[in-house]
Amino acid sequence: NYSQNLKGKTVLITAGPTYEAIDPVRYIGNHSSGKMGFSLAEEAAKRGAKVILVSGPSSQKTSNPEIALHRVTSAKEMFDEVFKHYENVDIAIASAAVADYAPKEVASEKIKKNDDTLVIELVKNPDILKTMGERKHRQFLVGFALETQNEEENAKGKLEKKNLDMIVLNSLRDEGAGFKNDTNKIHIITMHENREFALKSKDDVAKDIMNFIEEKTLK
Ligand code: C5P
- The tens digit of pLDDT for each residue in 39-77 reads 999 999 999 999 999 999 999 999 999 999 999 999 999
Neighbours of 208 (CB within 10 A): 18
Q: What is the ipTM for the molecules in this complex?
A: 0.97
| Smallest CA separation from ligand 1 atom 8, residue | 129
- CB of residue 132 inside a 6 A radius of ligand 1: no
Task: Give the closest residue (by CA) to ligand 1 atom 14.
Answer: 129
158 is annotated as contributing to ligand binding: yes
How far is the C-alpha of 131 from the C-alpha of 18, rounded, in Å? Answer: 17
Kindly report, residue by residue over 170-187, the tens digit of the pLDDT. 876 667 666 667 888 899
- Ligand 1 contact, 127 CB (< 6 A): yes
18 lines ligand 1 (CB under 6 A): no
For 125-146, b where at least 16 C-beta lie within 10 A, e where not — what string? bebbbbebbeebeebbbbbbbb
Query: Which CATH code is given to the segment(s) 10-217?
Result: 3.40.50.10300
With b meaning 16 or more CB within 10 Å and e meaning fewer, what string describes 98-109? Answer: bbeebbeeeeee
pLDDT (tens digit per residue) in 100-123: 999 999 999 999 998 999 999 999
More confident position, 171 or 131: 131
Residues in the chain: 219
List the domain boundaries for the chain: 10-217
Q: Which of 122, 128, 161 to mutate to test the pocket of ligand 1 (most atoms within 8 A of CB)?
A: 128
Task: Confirm whether residue 116 is marked as ligand binding.
Answer: no
pLDDT value of residue 145: 95
* Of 36, 129, 179, best ligand 1 pocket probe by most atoms within 8 Å of the beta carbon: 129
